[in-house]
Chains A and B, each alone.
Chain A
């Protein structure tokens, strides 16, 4: 995905017809991705052991009579051969019908509408905070001396390697249990979202910081910075107008990927902080073998991922003048 964004950048053919074709192929690609996600998730969840009919009647381990189990199978079409279930599933999806969750017994689209906003808020805020932290770190490291470089790059590597559940536990211990300044679990308003966001942002900031620092250092040593300096541009202007754009470019193209990783991080963070969201829905759905809900959530995540990648591509063009189409 990342490479697609980068290679999408510099290729610019200034003809409207080509642009139209490009949009068409992009739409076709998106549909292919969604179909692939639906297909893979359908078969994977049927390959792993476990009976979806049990999910319908109360989960594995319920004492359930054979008649009740059969009734559930027939009602949800689970008595049909797998390929028929698959065709029915794809047919429903093609008409934008995500079906009804086995466990929640409500339409999957309602579940997603209920929980997607919470996950989006979490991931967008985390991405923003990660960006701010990464940029600040990159600028500090490139300005400072050797010590700043050593400390900075150590910070980047360490924070990029920290697992979410560990960061969350430490943040809760320090800020909720000891200092009592923030809630340990989710709460309405800004205070409740701070710890989840910071938990997700720290490893990502470390990762983004590494690439941003590298390209900022490259930029500061490149001829255009030299000529800017020669023109009499201030050090502030050099860093904040010229070099920062360079630093931002790999960050932007990585943001598409980062968004995906944030959503998988949301599964962990939403569980630890008892925060509502799609991550928790997905976890519960996978454990329960709730096929429609798993498929619905994965399709939603894939769709968000596609949109974010397109946005990243647009941002890339805006920031990097070389990729702009001149007539």
Chain B
């Protein structure tokens, strides 16, 4: 079956769901301002793949981050506006030369196996993440500038850097750089995959592969994050963490009450969800580089800035988002998510202008052929759009088909090339694409260096994070300076200037922020919030009325 018919079928099934949901509207929800009560089991269904390991230091992907946020905590907490606050660490100090971070461990905190959290634990964890045997990807990458960790007393650890890194504290507030019990780490990698031990409000009790993970309350919990609405142990007795990969099934399970909270609510389910007064949608932007289209500037035809601009001007992104996402996502006009500090908006660079697009293509020497596709020197203006067929939502696919149609109106033929995730990364590595969909989750403006610094066109681990091929000396200089600067005003200016240059080069076009999209049974579950660093839900404050 072709991917297209599958997409059409899923949309058809979703339409049916919506129709049926309209017939079965439910009574109004109970009030949510009542006093929280303890007890009960919450069932969560994730649409992401089941993690292969519950320790987020080993590898380091979103499915791991989602579940481990319930039992593992970080040294620092990053607030909604990007500020760093103390969490397991009570404070920090940066040396004059920017090479030594002195971090103080909060005292009186224990891991759920009884081991005390102290400076030695900080060292043990940073060493563990950096050890190649751990096979940490995201975490080890973020610690690339760390030279060593020195414990100076029971509560003080000094992180020595090889060069200044203004993103270090932001990195250390991601769950991919977890703080786990040193005693538990000594059990070995495999045991730590099965039952990692953190300081969090829940404890991993059991993991039935392909079925569910059971988390139970940590009764000795003492380290709630900033912004939590209570202190002490969590309200829930336990969480059953399920995996339902199919979008329609996951939503059906939420409707029938088999599960209480789901993530990855599909745009086509949203209208049905909102028709139920007992269901609530909570979307929050994830930080980093938004969901975007990147244009490969290393080869024809997008090595010509006029052709790149023409393609971007041909797209009607607002109309596409409205028709496909039903207003559930806001358009992005920035290379940084609204959840990431230092972002600036450059809407002029991404506005629709079909006439200008045609003019630009004329200027660039592409003349309209008889079939409506432009030509130059016998070559037709055909570009290949690399799509991650494994993970793309039906709605996203529909959006890309609209882009395909709008590009055709100015004479650019777009071929949609939907492949599985491993093939996609292989083609990305070989620059074998003209357009690709891309995003990058990172809670720091330093993500810009990964995406736009020319150094990152080189393969690292089979992947180059700079996918547009932009190689601009000014951008490199600005981003590298910002990464080393500890001065907030200076960083603001440097990042703003870099973003202006990138936007004016038409290397890419942001579409919308990556989102955490929760569907919540509001008659049962109350008080769920997200930890802003990666916008991941925490059930620490959640309580149930059944």
Contact = CB atoms under 8 A, between A and B. Distances in A.
Interface of A: 48-51, 53-69, 71-72, 103-105, 111, 114-115, 163, 165-166, 168-170, 172-173, 176-178, 180, 183-185, 187, 271-274, 276-277, 280-281, 284, 287-289
B216 interface: no
B425 A61 contact: yes
A274 B52 contact: no
Contacts of A273: 249
Interface string B460-496: 1111010000000000000000000000000000000
A65 B461 contact: yes
- Give the size category of B's interface with A: 35 or more
Given A64-B141, A65-B461, A105-B190, A287 B245 contact: no
Contact of B137 (A68, A71, A172): A68
B109 to A, nearest CB: 28
11 contacts: A49-B426, A49-B427, A54-B425, A58-B61, A62-B61, A114-B210, A115-B210, A177-B20, A184-B252, A185-B45, A274-B45
A289 B13 contact: no
Contact of B421 (A53, A56, A60, A165): A60
B460 A185 contact: no
A164 to B, nearest CB: 11
Contacts of A61: 61, 421, 425, 463
A27 B424 CA distance: 42
A310 B205 CA distance: 43
B421 A184 contact: no
Contacts of B13: 165-166, 169
B186 interface: no
Interface in B47-71: 49-50, 52-53, 58-61
Contact of A48 (B50, B189, B256, B422): B422
Most buried by A among B1, B135, B243, B461: B461
B209 interface: yes
A179 to B, nearest CB: 10
B83 interface: no
Given A68-B461, A172-B249, A177-B17, A63 B135 contact: no
Interface of B: 1, 9, 13, 16-17, 20-21, 23-24, 45, 49-50, 52-53, 58-61, 132-133, 135-138, 140-141, 144, 189-190, 193, 208-211, 242-246, 248-250, 252-253, 255-256, 258-259, 390, 420-427, 450, 460-463, 465
B59 A63 contact: no
Nearest to B135: A57
Nearest to A268: B246
Enumerate the 6 nearest inter-chain pairs by beta-carbon distance, A residue then B residue, closest first: A58-B59, A50-B422, A49-B426, A62-B137, A64-B461, A276-B210
B52 A105 contact: yes
A281 B132 CA distance: 27
A215 B111 CA distance: 70
A115 B1 CA distance: 27
B246 A62 contact: no
Contact of A177 (B24, B135, B423): B24
A66 B256 contact: no
A184 B258 contact: yes
A219 B391 CA distance: 52
B193 A274 contact: no
Given A58-B135, A169-B248, A274-B246, A65 B59 contact: no
Nearest to A178: B20
Contact of A272 (B189, B249, B421): B249
Given A173-B16, A177-B252, A274 B242 contact: yes
Contacts of B208: 276
Q: Which of A49, A165, A168, A187 has the most CB of B within 10 A?
A: A49
B465 A166 contact: no
A66 B138 CA distance: 13
B422 A51 contact: yes
B209 A49 contact: no
A54 B422 contact: yes
A220 to B, nearest CB: 39
Contacts of A62: 59-61, 137-138, 461
Given A48-B423, A184-B252, 11 more contacts: A49-B426, A58-B59, A60-B422, A62-B60, A65-B461, A68-B136, A105-B53, A163-B9, A184-B255, A185-B244, A187-B258
B256 A183 contact: yes
Contacts of A57: 59, 135, 137, 461
Given A54-B422, A56-B135, A105-B53, A65 B140 contact: yes
Contact of B135 (A71, A271, A289): A71
B390 A287 contact: yes
Contact of B52 (A53, A104, A169): A104
A170 B256 CA distance: 15
A51 B59 contact: no
A59 B244 contact: no
A224 to B, nearest CB: 44
A61 B422 CA distance: 9
B103 to A, nearest CB: 23
Contacts of B462: 51, 53-54, 64, 69
Given A71-B135, A184-B253, A185-B258, A172 B24 contact: no
A184 B249 contact: yes
A173 B256 contact: no
B6 to A, nearest CB: 8
